[in-house]
Amino acid sequence: MVKFAATAVAFALVIAATTSALEASAPDYSNPDSWLCRPDRIDACATDQSITVIEADGSMSVQPLVPDTDRPFDCFYVYPTVSRNPTGNSDVVAGQEELRAAHAQAARFRQHCRVFAPLYRQVTLTALNSARAGGSVLGDFALAFSDVEQAWRSYLASDNDGRGVVLIGHSQGSGRLRRLLNEMNDPVERSLIISAMPIGSTIVRSNSDQAAGDFPWMPICTSADESGCLVAYSSFRDTVPPPANSRYGRARATGEHVVCVNPDALLGDSGTANSIFSTSPTWSSSQGIEAWVVGQSLPTTQFVSVPGLISTRCVSRGHLAYLEVSVNANADDPRTDDIGGDVVRSGNRNDAWGLHLVDIPVVMGDLVALTERQYAAWKAARD
């Protein structure tokens, strides 16, 4: 990051953020540089995904990620709000924030699928923080969607070749996928969707009208051996359920309900999630774990798996529906009794966000396994 010595120059940059995001060049998705991840190169989704598996007795073993030799389907990933550009909408240059997001959330999916992830002019953290403070830095969500839509069209035209595709997003990325699916009217295009995973975004359906709500043409997944269906949820601790002002998991209007699908339950894993966490905080607002095993330093791999530590289930309470995350702590074993993932600012936890920062990691292994099963169902239905 460039550091400016003159405060006046830095201030001028913040003022410039109020200019139209349209001044940023629109990405050309025929150019590989407009993509964060593509399967035909070494990039943000080709990073080391080795896991240290930490058993309840504190013993550790390392498991590398070995992608399938034949990856017959694709994953199209749209990353969450990460950009710290001073403008309302980001540029389309892969900074450290975008690289970290792809490394933490998308790269593991390459075990079974080819991963495509477009850069897009997302609404920045600068704009969101300005809006909360009543400032003047404005972001344009329509502009962000237009980029994602163009990337999707480019992928279909140049890379898809009739292959099935899993749509994966988180937070703002899921919001862009939500609109893409709401506007997807072509039956042929719909038939390519193995599943949609707009995670960490509130997806709603009508209580009384099957043709209302978010993309009602797509059924909600009820087993791992279905395709063309929806997986969506937002996660909260069992000890800290969503408050009345929750940002996620809360219906927007009377007569709606929030969709919650537990990936672990689809796989029949009896509520014990296959969690895969980063060994260091991916997001600056999240507190990390000081030790995964008491008295031992952090593992040398960038990810850990903690079999049996995390349980998940979908909970519906009034106008709320969310993925409840329980930490099966045992004070008698050496493994950590807690996880990170809460949004923390100035030392204070913001309960309205829940475990938003680890929405994907709490069931990462389940999500990856689910894509393989869903692809098999998709292919069988077409044979």
* Residue 89 included in any domain: yes
H/E element, 188: helix 187-191
d(CA 61, CA 293): 13
Q: Per mean pLDDT, which of 1-5, 8-12, 293-297 is the most reliable? A: 293-297
Q: Report the C-alpha dihedral over residues 249, 257, 255, 210, rounded to 10 degrees.
A: 140
Provide Rg for the chain, Cα atoms.
20
Q: Output the pLDDT for position 5.
A: 34
Sign of CA dihedral 238, 239, 241, 246: negative
Name the DSSP letter for residue 85.
Answer: -
* Residue 143 included in any domain: yes
Work out the pLDDT band at 247, boundaries 50, 70, 90.
very high
* Residue 2 included in any domain: no
292: left (phi over 0), alpha (psi -120 to 50) or beta: alpha
* Residue 148 included in any domain: yes
Cα separation values, 88 from 147, 342, 343, 353, Å: 15, 25, 22, 22
Mean pLDDT confidence for 34-46 = 96
d(CA 86, CA 75): 30
Structural domain count of the chain? 1
Q: Report the C-alpha dihedral over residues 181, 185, 190, 191, rounded to 10 degrees.
A: 170
* Residue 156 included in any domain: yes
Q: Output the pLDDT for position 86.
A: 95
CA angle 197, 25, 1 (to 5 degrees): 80
d(CA 280, CA 304): 10
Q: Tell me which residue has tokens 């509520």.
A: 271
> Do 229 and 218 touch, CB atoms closer than 8 A?
yes
Chain segment 79-127, per-residue pLDDT in tens: 999 999 999 999 999 999 999 999 999 999 999 999 999 999 999 999 9
Mean pLDDT confidence for 32-53 = 96
Work out the pLDDT band at 22, boundaries 50, 70, 90.
very low
d(CA 125, CA 89): 9
| 9, pLDDT greater than 50 | no
Q: Output the pLDDT for position 134.
A: 85
| Percent of the chain whose predicted confidence (pLDDT) is above 90 | 80
| 269, pLDDT greater than 80 | no
User: Residue 265 belongs to what domain range?
Assistant: 7-382
* Residue 1 included in any domain: no
| 210, pLDDT greater than 70 | yes
| 41, pLDDT greater than 70 | yes
| 16, pLDDT greater than 90 | no
Chain segment 305-346, per-residue pLDDT in tens: 999 999 999 999 989 999 999 999 999 999 999 999 998 888
Q: Output the pLDDT for position 346.
A: 80
Q: Output the pLDDT for position 3.
A: 34
Q: Per mean pLDDT, which of 21-30, 196-205, 330-339 is the most reliable? A: 196-205
Q: Output the pLDDT for position 284.
A: 54
A 10 A CB-CB count for 241 gives 16
| 4, pLDDT greater than 90 | no
| 368, pLDDT greater than 60 | yes
Residue 66 token pair: 């070995």
* Residue 114 included in any domain: yes
Mean pLDDT confidence for 67-89 = 96
Q: Output the pLDDT for position 283.
A: 61
* Residue 180 included in any domain: yes
Q: Output the pLDDT for position 164.
A: 98
CA atoms within 13 A on the CB side of 171: 21
d(CA 281, CA 304): 12
| 66, pLDDT greater than 60 | yes
Work out the pLDDT band at 298, boundaries 50, 70, 90.
confident
H/E element, 13: helix 7-16
Chain segment 107-118, per-residue pLDDT in tens: 999 999 999 999
| 365, pLDDT greater than 90 | yes
Cα separation values, 114 from 78, 92, 309, 319, 371, Å: 14, 21, 30, 37, 12
Q: Per mean pLDDT, which of 16-30, 136-150, 344-358 is the most reliable? A: 136-150
Cα separation values, 276 from 43, 125, 221, 253, 289, Å: 21, 26, 22, 34, 13
Chain segment 157-198, per-residue pLDDT in tens: 999 999 999 999 999 999 999 999 999 999 999 999 999 999
